[in-house]
């Protein structure tokens, strides 16, 4: 046991996050609305019940979206946490809060350990640069030496099977290639805390098989895993703790089996009520 | 680097501390900033055969035309006027004006990265300034050629340009933080800045010489951009070290630093929500 390195953890107290909504012309809102509409269209199991974030008008007439409300949560080393809930329940916002991208409006969050996040397929890559250049930039971001960057490039190239495409701008990549590159890059170093948004299991079965093998070795070495997905089988397979979010609040938190049962029951009553 | 991160909301001390840490972490990633800046230039001129020299040749043509027309308009010796205008237009166009307009886009253009990876915001300021340093250096070839053609003698006094460039470097970073934050929140500011750049161009001695103002020359120092351009231009035009100019330049710079510190400390935690 290495005593000098304290265990990784994530701790949130009374954490709330609000998104400001500016005038309709503002690009940020257009983007948010668009991506939300797109998500709704793509999700066949859409429920008519309001389950997403709440839109609030504050005292000084600012319109804000309450994405997370008074979250109290501690995740210890060794935990494999799955976040469940409807679209807009605050799962992705919670992941971004853990990385520090979104800072809380009230409450606080503390974490210990190197965090890597797979939040989107392009994972902060520049679409106009080639695969190799993006790998190079990632290496620089991690502060790797020239030699280490070359090793990183070799490893990722082999995993992503890009061949000659590695020299071409990634905007022309197929979604599969992009996913393999993004996934390979984000899993090339073992973080203490690994955060994954649901996109990572969207690839074809061939990719999933490869991804799983690579992920098993990473997850085993990582102290904490937090992932969001709608796939119940993935939750069952990967997680030992589930947190169920609804309208920005935690409504259930516990061992996978118990929460999954509750969740399934709620889903069947939901669809039953609609018929 | 400690892996412990702690983000409290709203307390003034925390905001101050986080802003300071952002700048320190950003500086540590200077290699990444340099690569990002370099890739920006590569991408910007990818389609053009001349590459970054495209701007250089445009400003060369402009300098030559202006040199001929204005030297006869102002009834000045072209041997005196052309070196002045060649240096002035490059320092203005690829130095001050470019930095002002790029500073507005500093965070906006990095919105993908900011939403998918936690990186110091200061990194984006550093990237913008490094990019503009490279562009400015490439374009300084024009005044150098003109100086050689017109046999302008540059003495040891020219070394006073070094503290001038250092002041520009710090101011460039401060302006990026200041305008970057404001433009992320209010989207019409970039247009206002661009109009401002066009207007201030005419009231700053860039294509006309300060001496042409005759007895009104004393008022010139109230235009902040005059002392700020003069700390770099003066030494290169054999004017040596000018104490008064430096005092004004330092006072204006400090005002910029104060404003940028104040805004960055307040805005940093909200930037991810604005862009």
Tens digit of pLDDT for each residue in B168-188?
999 999 999 999 999 998 888
Range 163-202 of A in CB contact (< 8 A) with B? 192
Measured between its terminal Cα atoms, the distance across chain A in Å is 56
A5 phi/psi in degrees, rounded to 5: -105, 105
Inter-residue contact A222 to A190 (CB < 8 Å): yes
Task: Report which secondary-structure segment, H or E, holds B254.
Answer: helix B243-267
pLDDT value, residue A45: 40
Q: Which of A231, A259, A257 is nearest to A246 (CA)?
A: A259
Query: Across residues A204-233, what is the average pLDDT?
Result: 82
Retrieve residue B223's tokens.
């235009």
Rounded to whole angstroms, what are the CA distances from B85 to B47, B65, B168, B205, B217? Answer: 30, 11, 20, 10, 18
Cβ neighbours around A62 below 10 Å, total: 12
pLDDT value, residue B12: 64
Q: Are the beta carbons of B35 and A108 separated by less than 8 Å?
A: no
pLDDT-derived band at A50 (thresholds 50, 70, 90) equals very low
Q: Give CA B121 to chain center in angstroms.
A: 18
pLDDT value, residue A29: 41
Q: HSE on the CB side for A248, CA within 13 Å? A: 18
CA distance A219 to A238: 9
Residues in chain B within 8 Å Cβ distance of A115: 118
Nearest CB among A102, A106, A129 relative to B272 is that of: A102
pLDDT value, residue B152: 87
Residues in chain B within 8 Å Cβ distance of A26: 187
pLDDT value, residue B3: 65
pLDDT value, residue A42: 53
The pLDDT of residue A44 is above 70: no
pLDDT-derived band at A205 (thresholds 50, 70, 90) equals confident
Nearest CB among B3, B10, B272 relative to A106 is that of: B10
Show pLDDT as tens, one digit a residue, over chain B (275 residues): 456 777 766 566 788 899 999 999 999 999 999 999 999 988 887 777 677 677 788 888 888 888 889 888 888 888 889 999 999 999 999 999 999 999 999 999 998 888 888 899 999 999 999 999 999 998 999 999 999 998 888 888 889 999 999 999 999 999 999 999 999 988 888 889 999 999 999 999 998 988 888 888 888 889 999 999 999 999 999 888 889 999 999 999 999 999 999 999 999 999 998 88
- Residue B223 DSSP code: S
Cα dihedral A21, A25, A27, A30 sign: positive
Q: Give CA A87 to chain center in angstroms.
A: 13
CA distance A267 to A273: 10
Q: Give CA A184 to chain center in angstroms.
A: 16
**Least confident piece of the model among A83-92, A112-121, B176-185:** A112-121
Q: Which residues contact B226 (CB under 8 A, 6 or more apart)?
A: B204, B205, B210, B220
The pLDDT of residue A48 is above 60: no
The shortest C-alpha distance from A67 to chain B (Å) reads 12
The pLDDT of residue A49 is above 90: no
Q: Are the beta carbons of B115 and A106 separated by less than 8 Å?
A: no
pLDDT value, residue A119: 81
CA distance A10 to B221: 54
Tell whether A238 is within 8 A of chain B (Cβ): no
Q: Are the beta carbons of A110 and B115 separated by less than 8 Å?
A: no
pLDDT value, residue A3: 43
Cβ neighbours around A20 below 10 Å, total: 17
Q: What is the ipTM of this complex?
A: 0.81
> Greater confidence, A89 or A1?
A89
The pLDDT of residue A275 is above 50: no
Nearest CB among B31, B116, B273 relative to A19 is that of: B273
Ordered structural domains, chain A, with CATH: 10-113+223-274 (3.40.50.300)
- Nearest chain A residue to B18 by CA: give it: A103
Inter-residue contact A114 to A143 (CB < 8 Å): no
The shortest C-alpha distance from A207 to chain B (Å) reads 22
Q: Are the beta carbons of A103 and B187 separated by less than 8 Å?
A: no
Q: HSE on the CB side for A196, CA within 13 Å? A: 29
String of b and e for A88-109 (b: at least 16 CB within 10 Å)? bbbbbbbbbbbbbbbbbbebbb
Rounded to whole angstroms, what are the CA distances from B58 to A122, B41, B51, B243? Answer: 36, 17, 12, 35
Retrieve residue A77's tokens.
């080393």
Q: Are the beta carbons of A140 and B9 separated by less than 8 Å?
A: no
pLDDT value, residue A11: 93
Cβ neighbours around A233 below 10 Å, total: 9
Nearest CB among B29, B32, B269 relative to A103 is that of: B269
- Nearest chain B residue to A11 by CA: give it: B6
Task: Report which secondary-structure segment, H or E, holds A132.
Answer: helix A131-141
A&B contacts, CB < 8 Å: 97
Picking from B1, B2, B5, B130 by the largest number of A CB atoms within 10 A of its own CB, the best residue to mutate is B5
Q: Which of A55, A71, A144, A170 is nearest to B112 (CA)?
A: A170
pLDDT value, residue A1: 40
Picking from A103, A104, A119, A138 by the largest number of B CB atoms within 10 A of its own CB, the best residue to mutate is A103
pLDDT value, residue A197: 83
The shortest C-alpha distance from B36 to chain A (Å) reads 8
Residues in chain B within 8 Å Cβ distance of A28: 273-275
pLDDT value, residue B250: 97
pLDDT value, residue A32: 46
Retrieve residue B12's tokens.
């003034």
Residues in chain B within 8 Å Cβ distance of A192: 3
pLDDT value, residue B45: 78
The shortest C-alpha distance from A224 to chain B (Å) reads 14
Cβ neighbours around A203 below 10 Å, total: 18
Q: Which of A61, A65, A69, A53 is nearest to A28 (CA)?
A: A65
The pLDDT of residue A227 is above 50: yes
């Amino acid at each position: 046991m290495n005593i000098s390195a304290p265990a990784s953890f994530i701790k949130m107290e009374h954490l709330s996050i609000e998104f400001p909504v500016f005038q309709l012309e503002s690009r940020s809102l257009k983007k948010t609305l668009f991506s939300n509409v797109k998500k709704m269209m793509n999700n066949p199991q859409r429920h008519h019940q309001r389950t997403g974030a709440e839109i609030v008008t504050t005292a000084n007439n600012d319109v804000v979206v309450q994405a997370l409300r008074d979250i109290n949560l501690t995740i210890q080393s060794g935990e494999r946490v799955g976040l469940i809930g409807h679209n807009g329940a605050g799962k992705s916002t919670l992941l971004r809060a853990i990385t520090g991208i979104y800072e809380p409006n009230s409450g606080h969050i503390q974490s210990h350990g190197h965090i890597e996040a797979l939040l989107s397929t392009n994972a902060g890559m520049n679409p106009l640069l080639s695969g190799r250049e993006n790998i190079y930039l990632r290496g620089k971001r991690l502060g790797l030496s020239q030699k280490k960057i070359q090793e990183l490039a070799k490893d990722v190239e082999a995993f992503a099977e890009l061949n000659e495409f590695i020299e071409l701008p990634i905007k022309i990549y197929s979604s599969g290639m992009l996913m393999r590159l993004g996934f390979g890059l984000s899993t090339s170093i073992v973080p203490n805390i690994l955060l994954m948004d649901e996109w990572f299991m969207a690839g074809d079965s061939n990719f999933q098989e490869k991804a799983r093998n690579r992920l098993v070795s990473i997850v085993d070495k990582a102290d904490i895993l937090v992932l969001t997905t709608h796939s119940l089988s993935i939750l069952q397979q990967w997680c030992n703790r589930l947190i169920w979010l609804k309208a920005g609040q935690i409504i259930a938190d516990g061992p996978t089996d118990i929460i999954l049962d509750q969740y399934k029951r709620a889903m069947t009553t939901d669809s039953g009520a609609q018929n | 680097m400690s892996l412990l991160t702690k983000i409290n909301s709203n307390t003034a001390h925390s905001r101050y501390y986080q802003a300071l840490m952002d700048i320190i972490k950003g500086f540590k990633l200077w290699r990444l900033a340099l690569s990002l800046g370099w890739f920006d230039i590569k991408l910007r001129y990818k389609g053009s055969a001349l590459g970054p020299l495209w701007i250089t040749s445009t400003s060369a043509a402009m300098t030559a035309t202006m040199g001929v027309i204005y030297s006869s308009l102002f009834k000045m010796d072209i041997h005196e006027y052309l070196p002045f205008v060649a240096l002035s237009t490059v320092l203005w166009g690829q130095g001050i004006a470019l930095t002002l307009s790029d500073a507005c886009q500093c965070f906006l253009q990095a919105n993908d990265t900011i939403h998918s990876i936690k990186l110091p915001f200061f990194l984006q300021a550093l990237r913008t300034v490094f990019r503009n340093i490279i562009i400015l250096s490439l374009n300084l070839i024009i005044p150098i050629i003109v100086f050689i053609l017109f046999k302008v003698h540059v003495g040891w006094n020219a070394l006073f340009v070094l503290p001038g460039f250092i002041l520009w470097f710090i101011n460039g970073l401060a302006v990026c933080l200041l305008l970057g934050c404001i433009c992320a929140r209010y989207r019409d500011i970039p247009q206002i800045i661009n109009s401002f750049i066009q207007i201030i161009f005419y009231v700053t001695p860039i294509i006309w010489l300060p001496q042409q103002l005759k007895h009104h020359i004393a008022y010139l120092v109230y235009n902040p951009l005059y002392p700020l351009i003069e700390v770099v231009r003066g030494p290169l035009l054999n004017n040596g070290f000018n104490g008064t100019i430096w005092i004004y330049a330092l006072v204006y710079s400090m005002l910029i630093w104060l404003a940028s510190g104040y805004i960055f400390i307040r805005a940093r935690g909200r930037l991810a929500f604005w862009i």
